[in-house]
Structure 1
Amino acid sequence: MSIIDGTDLEDYFVRTRWFAGKSRPFSVARSRRIADLAAGGEGVRVAVFLVTVEYSDAEAGEETYQVPLALYDEPQEAIAHAFIAAVEDEGRLRHIYDAVHDRYAMALWLNGLVAAELSGAHEIGGLRFRRVEGTEPLDPELRSSPLTGEQSNSSVRFDDVAIMKLFRKVTPGVNPDIEIHRELTRQHSEHVAALYGWVEADVNGETVQLAMMQEFLRTASDGFELATGSVRSLLANPSQSVEESGADFAGEAARLGTAVAEVHAALRSRFPSETRDAAAARALARALEDRLDHALGVVPELEPFAERLRAMYATVAALGRLDVQRVHGDLHLGQTLRTAHGWRIVDFEGEPGRPFAERSLPDSPWRDVAGMLRSFDYVPGTVALTQATEEGPDPDAEDDLRADLAREWARRARGHFLDAYVGALCRTESVGADAAAPGEEEQILADNRTLLDAYVADKAVYEAVYEKRNRPAWIAIPLAALAHVV
């Protein structure tokens, strides 16, 4: 039974950060109430909905979002900013709020995971709470507070102990973020936050995973914010070289390269990997071309690069083999955290918009490497655009120098990341070796350069589509990259 109509939901969706279709014409097609929970004496009830929206643009299609609602008989001033609507429900007026912002509602999720500690699983009101064996117990008195920076999902911090990610766009099946974190937690990987547990429900005979609870990393800094801060510091004093400035990111990039290589090695040890034949390379080349064809329909500005991109993809089709394994699938600086104990990799969901079954397929680890290389290139462009917005156009004699410094910052970061990645790759594949054999690193890079370059170009095409739809003024960043890549 629905308690809120489509119009209220549509108004609510366009006000959120996590709804991916704000720039597209859409309508609520249907909603389904999949769970009901109650919080004892606090007076709150929670109804969890799956809401399906349909798009009426040229791409059409539909997406399903998880919407947890906190229902109160009286207005709640403390969470007035999360108010959605006041509606009739079971013969009474209910004041409806986004449950993520309500600590009494979020305590229900925490209590479910606490209850699952002994048996490994516990069911409440249509939700099933699961725990990872051997992980730290959770204190039921932890207090929640929502984080503000995330976009595609919603995250809730429980004091300085745990963080819960509530998935917004959902689809049946195993969420790769949960699956990979579970395996790496069991392996005691130092490069991820431990997974404590997750929440799921059965819908139409299929399991839909709705949330995950992880260790909260107290000393963590967002990797992209750290990198942009480095560039801002560099450009504040353009009279110094990158190396002399104290804002060089090369060392951090190298440490991150080692961490990514070690995560890839861990994934190879926990999930199947294989070497595929030339037919797989041809299939990959077709997929890259298909993505380009689709992108050209959205971003006409890509047309000047199309012929050279197709030629690049043709070299991929000529490869004789393709090594694949489980990978991150959407790796960039925003999916990393720098802690006092080193780099951590987060958000193993894979590329947004793809079904879980596709995201979980083995892929080339060089796709992840390409994503990180593009991210280093994005940092100076982001700084330049945000500074222009904040300060307005005010060219001076040092602008060219700053642009050269920014390019050098990115070049050094990319180079050190790639060198460290390949070096760590050699060490993980040569068990017991402290260093690669002479020429081994150069040979690995030479053998994979065609694939890496194609993935870098493909990522820039993907970025162009994203920016065209979401931040048209930013499309210059991926287009400038394509002018140099192809």
Structure 2
Amino acid sequence: MTSPSPLPLDTLPDHLAAARWFGGKGRPFTVTSVTRAAEIRTDGEPRLVIDLVEVSYSDGAEPATERYQLPLSLYSHPQERLNHAFINWYDEGGESWVHAYDAIHDRDAMAAWLAAFAAVEPDGGAPVSESGPDGLVLRRLPGHELDPEAHSTPFSGEQSNSSVMFGNDSLMKVFRKLTPGVNPDIEIHDVLTRAGSDHVAALYGWAELGSGEGVLQLALLQQFLTTASDGFELALASVRNLFAEASVDPGGELAADQAGGDFADEAHRLGVALAEVHAALAEHFGREPVPPEALTALGDRMVARLDEAVTVVPQLAEQRERLRSTFAGVAGLSDVHRQRVHGDLHLGQTLRTVLGWKLVDFEGEPAKPLAERRQPDSPWRDVAGMLRSFDYAAHAVVMTATSADGTEDEDRDDRARAWVDRNSQAFLAGYLGDREPTSDEETLLRAYVADKAVYEAVYEARNRPGWLPIPLAALTP
């Protein structure tokens, strides 16, 4: 059972506002409560506890409230090595002072968490706190012996979660924003790991907290991919290589398939990997036809998003009728199926290792409610996300080059489009195997690609106006 936390509330708003993982940036909020959910036993200091912070927003928008996880490392004296992770200090009574730090940055605290995982029997659950049936439970999968001596290193740059690498052995992802229910990142990794999939980092275990609202899944522990390279960075390098080689080619006619960094074979392999992941998910979770009324509703939602987008990005008005027709065409389809999918797939959610492509982060779109992220969807949504990512990779390099030399280069634009076409076709060929897409699949894919580009246009207009030309160009015939 949770209880009120002694952690003072006064500094928490500033701490949350500065945290990369806080989803309420730019919204007026107050911290309404902090509860102590669990404690992981340690020998002496630090004490390792998990607090849950409730915030309420006053702008009338949804969600009106959110809950965030704060793993805390508690010491009786200040720890200068953790000054960058300091949260607050308080008196526990009798002049017993406690200094609280974000535990993600404390190797001693992370060692205690890893040791607790290592003590769990595979395919069992071990309560690690004394808070009764609603306490913290760690679960492990069979097949891997954890290295409890591995030192922790926090990752930098993450947006919505916090990850810690334990040597070259394992990686723990701590979910910061919590919603009651099964987290799809754990659920899907569990299924694919047990199925022996080669296209994900193996799941080693996870932490969850019981509550009257349902399970709160706090963290997952999985394989650390020591040879992994980010898919988006590899794509950028391929485009840069194409531009660099074209710049020294006497005729200036170097084609996308002639560059030393040609990406098409990798794009094909990535398509194969996605197809195999989709097949495994369909086998476990099932696959069902989408009824006509659901297709009509899907087209209507796309049209509604377009109409809303036009108010943010007026340039979209020129394409409005054509795009509405594209979205309305979804309602007339008859051979569409849905299943569990990735839900937020792009090159940045892929890693290339010596053993092939791996897909990561099966949480779905973070802004969507958890229940919606666990709903079945068309696999073509994932395909569309990857196609849009190829387009972003190529034109991001164009924009960077244009900013560097201050000139618009039509040949550079042509080469970028050729790179996108070549790799999109290779990816689709890998995904489809020996068959061609049906007319219904082509119609649905066009709609998903356009819907994704509309979303991107709104995002860029609000966050990176200089990048707005990328999705706008994709929406212009």
| TM-score after normalising by structure 2 | 0.91
- Would the alpha carbon gap of residues 60 and 176 (structure 1) be closer, same or farther in structure 2, given more than 3 Å must change? closer
Aligned AA (1:14) = A
1:305 to 2:314 alignment: no
The one of 287, 299, 311 equivalent to 1:285 is: 299
Aligned pairs for 1:208-357 within 5 A: 208-238=216-246, 239=249, 240-357=254-371
1:203–1:465 CA distance, 2 compared to 1 (3 A): farther
In structure 2, relative to structure 1, the CA distance for the partners of 1:396 and 1:481 (3 Å cut) is: closer
Distance of aligned partners of 1:6 and 1:385 in 2 relative to their CA distance in 1, 3 Å threshold: farther
| Structure 1 counterpart of 2:419 | 409
Relative to structure 1, the CA distance from residue 56 to residue 235 in structure 2 (aligned partners, 3 Å threshold; closer, same or farther) is farther
Alignment of 1:439-458 (within 5 A): 441-442=435-436, 444-458=437-451
Question: Would you say the 8 A contact 1:6–1:27 is kept in 2?
Answer: no
Alpha-carbon distance between aligned partners in 1 of 2:470 and 2:30, rounded to the nearest angstrom? 32
* Distance change >3 Å, CA 96–CA 322, structure 1 → 2: same
1:472 aligns with 2:472: no
Shift in Å, 1:218: 1.0
Task: Give the alignment partner of residue 129 of structure 1, picking from 129, 132, 138.
Answer: 138
What does 1:100-119 align with in structure 2 at a 5 Å threshold? Answer: 100-118=104-122
Give the corresponding residue for 1:34.
Answer: 37
Greater Cα offset, 252-261 or 462-471? 462-471
Distance 1:420 1:79, change over 3 A: same
Tell whether the 8 Å contact from 1:34 to 1:203 is kept in structure 2 after alignment: no
Q: Does the 8 Å CA contact 1:54/1:60 hold for their aligned counterparts?
A: no
1:19-60 per-position Cα deviation (integer Å, ceiling 9, x unaligned): 22323333323332211234313x112231222333344634
Instruction: Please tell me whether residue 461 in structure 1 is matched to residue 454 in structure 2.
Output: yes
Structure 1 residues 292, 35: CA separation in 2 closer, same or farther (over 3 Å shift)?
A: farther
The letter of the residue matching 1:419 is: A
8 A Cα contact 2:180 2:213, kept in partner: no
Offset of residue 353 of structure 1: 1.6
| Aligned AA (1:53) | V
The 1:31–1:294 alpha-carbon spacing in structure 2 relative to 1, beyond 3 Å, is: farther
CA distance in 1, matches of 2:314, 2:341: 31
What 5-or-longer segments of structure 2 have no aligned partner? 130-134
Deviation at 1:235, TM superposition (A): 2.1
Is it true that 1:394 corresponds to 2:405 in the alignment?
yes
Deviations 1:303-323 (A, max 9, x none): 433332222111111222421
The 3 A distance-change label for structure 1 pair 422 and 78 is: same
User: How far did residue 284 of structure 1 move?
Assistant: 1.4
* CA gap 1:384/1:341 in 2 versus in 1, 3 angstroms: same
Look up the equivalent residue of 2:426 and give its one-letter code. H
Could you say if the C-alpha distance between residues 302 and 194 of structure 1 is closer, same or farther in structure 2, counting changes exceeding 3 Å? same
What secondary structure, in the 3-state scheme, does the structure 2 residue paired with 1:242 have? coil
Once the two structures are superposed, what CA deviation does each residue of 1:123-158 show, in whole Å capped at 9, x if it has no partner? Answer: 1123210112x2212122121111113222111111
User: 1:458: Cα distance to partner?
Assistant: 1.2
> Identity, % of aligned pairs?
53
What is the TM-score with the length of structure 1 in the denominator? 0.89
Q: Report the CA distance shift for 1:483/1:50 in structure 2 as closer, same or farther (over 3 A).
A: farther
CA contact (8 A) 1:337 1:343 kept: yes
Letter in 1 for 2:55: V
Contact 1:79 1:97 in 2 (8 A): yes
> Which residue of the partner structure matches residue 431 of structure 1?
none
Correspondence 1:167 to 2:178: no
Query: How many angstroms apart in 2 are the aligned matches of 1:37 and 1:250?
Result: 48
Q: Which of 242-251 and 266-275 deviates more?
A: 242-251
Among 42, 51, 54, which residue is 1:52 paired with? 54
> Which 10-residue stretch deviates more, 10-19 or 379-388?
379-388
C-alpha distance in 2, partners of 1:282/1:366?
17
The CA distance in 1 between the partners of 2:407 and 2:317, in whole Å, is 33
Note the residue ranges of structure 1 that are not aligned, 5 or more in a row: 424-435
For residue 357 of structure 1, report the CA deviation from its aligned partner: 1.7
CA change 1:362–1:122 in 2 (3 A) is same
In 1, Cα distance between equivalents of 2:24 and 2:470? 22
Mapping of residues 75-114 of structure 1, within 5 Å:
75-90=78-93, 91-114=95-118
- Provide the C-alpha distance between the structure 2 equivalents of 1:220 and 1:276, rounded to a whole number of angstroms: 37
Match of 1:16 among 19, 44, 48: 19
